[in-house]
A and B are shown apart, each in its own frame.
Chain A
Amino acid sequence: MASFSVPEKTIKDILPENTLKTIVPQEEVTRAVKTAPSRYRNEIAKFIVHRNLNCKRCGKCAEVCQYGVHVLKPGYKYFAEPKNHLCIGPSCEKTGNFCVAKCPNGALQLKENPLFKALGDYRWPGDLILATWKMAETGDVPPAEYGYEYNCGNSGGGFDRLRFKFPDKPPVKIDADKIDTSISLNKRGDGRPEIKIDVPWYGGGMSFGSVSNVTQLSKARAAKAWNTFTCTGEGGYMERMRPYDDHVITQVATGLFGVREETIQRVPIVEFKYAQGAKPGLGGHLLGDKNTPAVAKMREAVVGISLFSPFPFHSVYSIEDHQKHLDWIKHINRRALISTKVSTPTDVDMVAVGSYSAGTHIVHIDGGYGGTGAAPDIAKKNIAMPIEYAIGRVHKFLADEGVRDKVTLIASGGIRSAHDVAKAIALGADGVVIGTVELVALGCVRCSRCESGRGCPRGIATTDPELAAKMNIEWGTQRIINLYNAWRKVLVGILQRFGMKSVTELRGRTDLLMHLDYTNDVGAKK
């Protein structure tokens, strides 16, 4: 295998100057957590506290409630509408500060919010959405009293049925600040930069066209703050993204939209997208409505026409063809690492090893259940295997071939929580790519209307200027920074409980996992 990779120790001597460093001055973004409240007036609440006409405005409720639900502003005669989203619900009864019980006039009632039933789906239940919003707001997980299930969804399989077997107490005590969550993206030792990212995830490709430039820039700035990456997707490289070049992955996909030599030279990582999990084997689609003048310009296409990236790369029908492509990019940008993004067919393990031998630094496997862009419904649940099956397969095959430590394995396609990240790593990935969760942090409700007409009514996945104006870059950046902070905290907590100093120790530790649908007695089975 090793003979495939060309030693490049001397590349610095033969390089054109401009491919060695970033040309545009890079902007700093701080990682500090700052509160970034919802941009909507009414937050979605799980419970409703109803105050009826018996209320004598005695103020008892405001006094007992520990969560600031009841507000009687000084000088006001009436209570403001209860801040329902702050209410912890029926579990409050046990606290001894239950307003409903304490109200001397029986004026209060607590109900489940019927609205909550309409929020979320199997993969992203309402709890997970609300909890993710909280993390994006505060930079921390929601307080335990709220009882949100934010570690997994409700899909009944895969990550949602996997659990960690935590020891009763950590084998060694390690301070949170001593724990290293960084991973390295170049394991080839081929003389190209040894890029490390501070958290074991980076942002997935979402093109300008599929999301607004506010969304793209927010993602890029958060990546900068957290010393990780974001990806342009297939749709061109905005000039406004250039101050974050060092944290951008640019994509070369089958449509080659917006791919130019010069854009390839800007970045430290170039990603080849063969397929994507949301629509494996179907190429990319951008419906005509979303192909606005700005999008068309960037993609060098005609306004209003649906744009299709074909599947597959018609210039790649073998690993040798693939290698030729990688060599081409490596030549154009002598400092770039190469990532190869593939979907999860039966032979995903072979594809991974093939990509390694062609010279890729990162094998990125994208399972079927994620994705943010427009995809035919038939593709979403039916084509290619869920990522949970693919990770272990690829990890093992790479190990059996003796190259596991020469390539970085990144998994994506349905990573919704920090626990999903940890589970993916325990199954054998080095790190993950995330997508949907960043959009949720920006206020996505998963209504899945991103594809048509003017696009996302919440201004996230749209190129309609009026809709996109619903969000600003500072707020968007902060929301994602906060989310990352909360996730890292959870991840550090997991590592602490296992007594691990570095997230790299977790990789492939399937022995730390159990599956709720299995007997978990594998020793006995043999």
Chain B
Amino acid sequence: MPEKYHIKTQPVPPVSPRIGKYGMVDWREDCARCHNCVKKACVYDRYRQEADYIRNLSDVNALFFDCMGCFSCVQDCTKGLLCMSINPEYQKMGNSYWTPDIIKTTWLQAETAKIPVSGAGYRGPFSGKGFDSMWTDMSEIVRPTRDGIHGREYISSSVDIGRKLPYLAFNCNKTGANASPLVSLPMPMIIDMTSPAHTLPQLNPIIAQTAVNTDIIAIIDSRQWQGSDKQLRNIAFYIADGEDIPKDALKKTRLVEIPDGAKVIERIKEIKKIQPGIVIAIRVELTSAGVERAIKLAESKEVEVIHIVADANGNEIGASKPRFIKDMTRQIHTALIEKGCRDEITLMAGGGIALPEHMAKEIICGADLITINLPLLISLECHLCNSCKPGMVCPAKLEKIDINYGVGRMTNLIAAWHDQLIEVMGAMGMREVRRLRGDVGRAMFFENLEEETFGKLFGSRKNN
């Protein structure tokens, strides 16, 4: 068996106080001072931890909120003095897309590198917008096309980035003599640049080292690069329009990204002249023209990789009724199939990928791989409070972050995502993530299921 892709992880505890969903409010005044106070019986020992926490308190405003919500103490207190409440700090985190629950699970994975497991079934809404309007398939007793996997260790998550040959041509007894370069990644993920709102220069070294540790690639603006040459194998420079090409450093990288623009083909040629063996990705912002532009670009023989990027919430940029990244990806993917060039182009997609299932679902919708940034930021205990501006206080103290902590947390998160990708692929009976791309047969979409099931019985859906 060839060596397996394995990310080394170790637990990295949080540096800030945990922000739990529930907390206890204690109306002490009537307390009977019971010998056997229910607080001693908390299975999770929360009250003792709270006492310790308060004793060592450095931040006066912080409250201890880490109750697991079992209601046992509330219901057993002799005087009924305890009241559980939802932590307002918790509810305040993130936004409607990056919900507190997403932030919390990201923190947990960044701490433990483990797949989050819980009991008592699913607790959420029936379906939702975006990625929540699809389900991945699984394979049961029979599945003619199933890979017949015998274990997760046989599932490959690697992808190739670059332009692929439509067919093999034999030339002077050499196969693929004119094949374009390819970059192989052990997992379908690239770390994208952080959005301008969250760009903190001290994060770049952490991101670069995380890319090295996980052997994926991080896109970093060439103007901000200060890392070591050894890391360059796992770095892709983003070279803005009009910027000088960092010739020497570029030779040590495998992938580079440039913005889309009128002269993008010339820019490709320019870079290829310096470094013919490099793969070039074009960053296409998914504005209202983005989908058409991506399709158009794919027709050009010079284009190898298209990196489509929606906004942070996965929406079409600047639209009042935005399309969602998964739908835009499907559109592009399908159009490329119709044009007969889908397999030649690599499609990377980013924006709104918040959870590992989004990675799998986005690939099913047609991306070869995904790009993320916010989840990595969140892994550093960021609350997405958008205070990362000079003069504002970052609750995660990202300005003073320790590199080992940062790399550890990000690496853990990526490892946990990788494991979860393997889990869903195992369920689908898929042995290769390459084959998952665009395989909508491995997914079920809300609209289709509704129409097939309830549409037939009950007419048209009202809110369509």
Contacts and interface: CB of A to CB of B under 8 A. Distances in A.
Interface of A: 38, 40-44, 81, 113-115, 117-119, 121-124, 155-158, 160-161, 274-275, 278, 280-282, 285, 287, 310-314, 316-319, 321-322, 342-343, 345-348, 350-351, 354-355, 368-386, 388-389, 392-393, 414, 436, 439, 444-454, 456-458, 461, 467, 510, 513-515, 517-522, 524-525
A281 B428 contact: yes
A381 B69 contact: no
Contacts of B127: 156-157
B107 interface: no
A355 B427 CA distance: 20
Given A448-B120, A451-B119, A457-B43, A314 B455 contact: no
B349 to A, nearest CB: 18
B140 A274 contact: yes
Contact of B449 (A118, A123, A389, A445): A389
Interface string B423-447: 1101111000000000001001000
A451 B140 contact: no
Contacts of A386: 126, 135
A383 B424 contact: yes
Nearest to A310: B151
Contact of B76 (A41, A155, A452): A41
A123 B459 contact: no
Contact of B121 (A346, A392, A414, A452): A414
Nearest to B120: A448
A440 to B, nearest CB: 10
20 contacts: A42-B75, A114-B83, A115-B85, A117-B86, A118-B69, A121-B124, A122-B125, A318-B141, A346-B441, A371-B120, A372-B120, A381-B124, A381-B132, A386-B126, A447-B69, A448-B123, A449-B118, A451-B119, A457-B68, A461-B119
B460 interface: yes
Given A156-B125, A453-B43, A522-B457, 6 more contacts: A157-B127, A368-B122, A376-B423, A382-B135, A384-B138, A392-B457
Interface stretch (B142-150, B198-206, B216-224, B336-344): B142-150
Contacts of A287: 117
Contacts of B455: 518
Nearest to A317: B148
B141 A316 contact: yes
Contacts, number: 278
Nearest to A462: B43
A86 B77 CA distance: 18
B176 interface: no
Contact of A519 (B70, B361, B427, B458): B458
Contact of A520 (B84, B428, B458): B458
A388 B441 CA distance: 20
B273 interface: no
Contacts of A115: 74, 83-85
A351 B124 contact: no
A354 B140 CA distance: 11
A457 B44 contact: yes
B138 A389 contact: no
Interface string B320-354: 00000000000000000000000000000000000
A123 B125 CA distance: 7
Given A447-B70, A451-B118, A379 B460 contact: no
A379 B357 CA distance: 9
A500 B4 CA distance: 61
A338 B423 CA distance: 29
A380 B121 contact: yes
B138 A343 contact: yes
A420 B411 CA distance: 44
Contact of B70 (A158, A355, A375, A458): A458
Contact of B462 (A373, A450, A518): A518
A446 B125 contact: no
A155 B126 contact: yes
A43 B122 contact: no
